[in-house]
Amino acid sequence: MTAITHPVRREADAPARHHTWQHIVRVTRLQFVDPWVLIWTPAVIIGAAWLVSIVIALIITRVAGLDPEQMRQGMSYSWAVLSPFWYFAAVGVQAVGTTLQFALGIGSTRRDYWLGTTLAFAVFSAAVAVVFAGLRAVEVVTGGWGTSAVVFDALWYGDLPWWLAAYTTFALSLAVLVIGAALTTCYLRWRVIGVVTVGLAVVAALLIALAAITWLQAWPALIGWFAGIGVTGVFGIVLGIALLAGIGGYLVIRRATPR
């Protein structure tokens, strides 16, 4: 006969359990429980991209003996720094694809799940922004990691002060994560039809916008406007899209049903 006798352990702050903020934050914590998801895997990806860039730079300068300055010009168009962002999209999709069902199973509400997860995305994106900005600073100081390679100082980062660079990283990372999650939420609510509809709607809106701009011969004005708002403005739009996706996801998830 098994006699299980032991005291019941009660969490000390039991009365606070029903506060909504607690419910949101525990979902945020949930997203960070497995360090491989948000720490090691992105680290490995960016580490690999960095390593590949260094090796290429070494080959070009030391082996082929080409001019480092010219190579630097060329490498400043390298997409290596964006390599983890494809993975971030997958993270966004998985967050809703599998983790949502788990969270619902242990008693979270969909609303709390969405808020907690987008909060996790924001925290994570801020961390990525800071790390990339830091690595970029090291790259500049070491003259391209001692090999004239360009990894983090590439693309639009080249001319920006560190805080502006971090802002762009944050905006892009958050947008990719939230859009991935929001699209998956549309899938859970409306299945394939839903995702296709949303996708088609977005494409249609873009096409209409392009057609309108062309018909109005407004391209020069548009390009001028983009130049005017600069990097800050462009990534502000990216953040705006992230916000829209966040609100959209919150509205759609309330009746989403994991399969």
Per CB under 8 A, the list member of 56, 76, 94, 123 interacting with another protein is: 94
162 in Cβ contact with 133 (< 8 Å): yes
Tell me the closest approach of the beta carbon of residue 18 to another protein, in angstroms.
Answer: 7
Here the tokens at position 137 are: 């600073």
69 in Cβ contact with 148 (< 8 Å): yes
Residue type, 33: V
Q: How many residues are given for the chain? A: 259
Per CB under 8 A, the list member of 8, 63, 64, 192 interacting with another protein is: 8
**Interatomic CA distance for residues 11 and 231, integer angstroms:** 48
Q: Is 102 in the site for another protein (CB under 8 A)?
A: yes
Q: Is 181 in the site for another protein (CB under 8 A)?
A: no
Stretch of residues binding another protein (CB under 8 A), selected from 94-102, 125-133, 167-175, 212-220: 94-102
Helix (H) or strand (E) holding 120: helix 110-141
Rg of the Cα atoms in the chain: 23
Q: Which is nearer to another protein, 23 or 136 (CB)?
A: 23
Per CB under 8 A, the list member of 53, 61, 78, 99 interacting with another protein is: 99
Tell me the closest approach of the beta carbon of residue 226 to another protein, in angstroms.
Answer: 38
Q: Is 189 in the site for another protein (CB under 8 A)?
A: no
Dihedral sign, Cα of residue 86, residue 250, residue 168, residue 222: positive
Tell me the closest approach of the beta carbon of residue 176 to another protein, in angstroms.
Answer: 17
Q: Is 5 in the site for another protein (CB under 8 A)?
A: yes
Count other Cβ atoms within 10 Å, centred on residue 237: 14
60 in Cβ contact with 73 (< 8 Å): no
Q: Which is nearer to another protein, 8 or 64 (CB)?
A: 8
Q: Which is nearer to another protein, 112 or 139 (CB)?
A: 112
Q: Is 65 in the site for another protein (CB under 8 A)?
A: no
Q: Which is nearer to another protein, 102 or 225 (CB)?
A: 102
Going from the C-alpha of 90 to that of each of 58, 87, 182, 184, 257, the distances in angstroms are: 32, 5, 12, 10, 20
Stretch of residues binding another protein (CB under 8 A), selected from 32-40, 137-145, 170-178, 241-249: 32-40
Report the first-to-last Cα separation within the chain, whole angstroms: 40
Binding positions for another protein, rule: CB under 8 A:
1-11, 14, 17-18, 20, 23, 26, 29-30, 33-34, 36-37, 94, 98-99, 101-102, 104-112, 254-255, 257-258
